[in-house]
Structure 1
Amino acid sequence: MKRLLSVFDSTVLTMAGLRIISGCLEITAAILMLTFNDVKKALAVNAMLAIVGPLILIATMSIGLIGLADQLSYSKLLFIGLGVAFILYGIFR
């Protein structure tokens, strides 16, 4: 197993792992909604997911930017950071 994982860049592996965890949380939430079979409880579960989604986005983008930091100029990092800030502004406004 370690040999299989050594093929991937550790940064990419971490980012993919976060996305897999996020996907598992989404599937679990969908199953909970079906299990509860109540609109109020489904909305509560969905509200919890609304918190987790942006956190996963921020964490994944941060890990990716840290992985690229030595390859990009400061101006490019600034533009990427601005892009992420605009995405977050659009999500929360």
Structure 2
Amino acid sequence: MFQFLEKAIIGMALLRMLSGSIEIFVAFLFLKYNDIEKALMINSSLALIGPIILIITTTIGLVGIADKISFIKLLWIFGGVACILYGVRSG
């Protein structure tokens, strides 16, 4: 029995693997440079990557189920993502 994966699932999984790979790469950069200032600078650049991956992954998932849920529910989901991003933003 061979089961096909949905394109949305493959896209979401690949984005998460990319995100995890970037995190591991950054950890190696921390060890390579062995400097607090550089580590903080590199770490702060990750603050841009996380929300971008979250938004893209959520969008892919929503496009994959857009025909199955109502427009109002889509708005609620996007509103929830916006609240998450607002809540974790710095400043």
User: What is the TM-score of this pair, normalised by structure 2?
Assistant: 0.91
Q: Distance in 1 between matches of 2:52 and 2:32?
A: 26
- Matched with 2:9 is 12
Structure 2: gaps of 5 or more residues: none
Give, in angstroms, the shift of residue 7 of structure 1: 2.2
Q: Return structure 1 stretches of 4+ with deviation > 4 angstroms.
A: none
Q: Distance in 2 between matches of 1:7 and 1:31?
A: 36
User: What is the TM-score of this pair, normalised by structure 1?
Assistant: 0.89
RMSD value, Cα = 1.4
* 1:42 and 2:39 are equivalent in the alignment: yes
Q: Distance in 2 between matches of 1:92 and 1:62?
A: 20
Seq. identity, %: 48
- How many residue pairs match? The answer is 89
Q: Higher relative contact order by CA 8 Å / sep ≥ 6: 1 or 2?
A: 2
* 1:58 and 2:64 are equivalent in the alignment: no
Q: Distance in 2 between matches of 1:84 and 1:42?
A: 28
Q: Distance in 2 between matches of 1:46 and 1:90?
A: 19
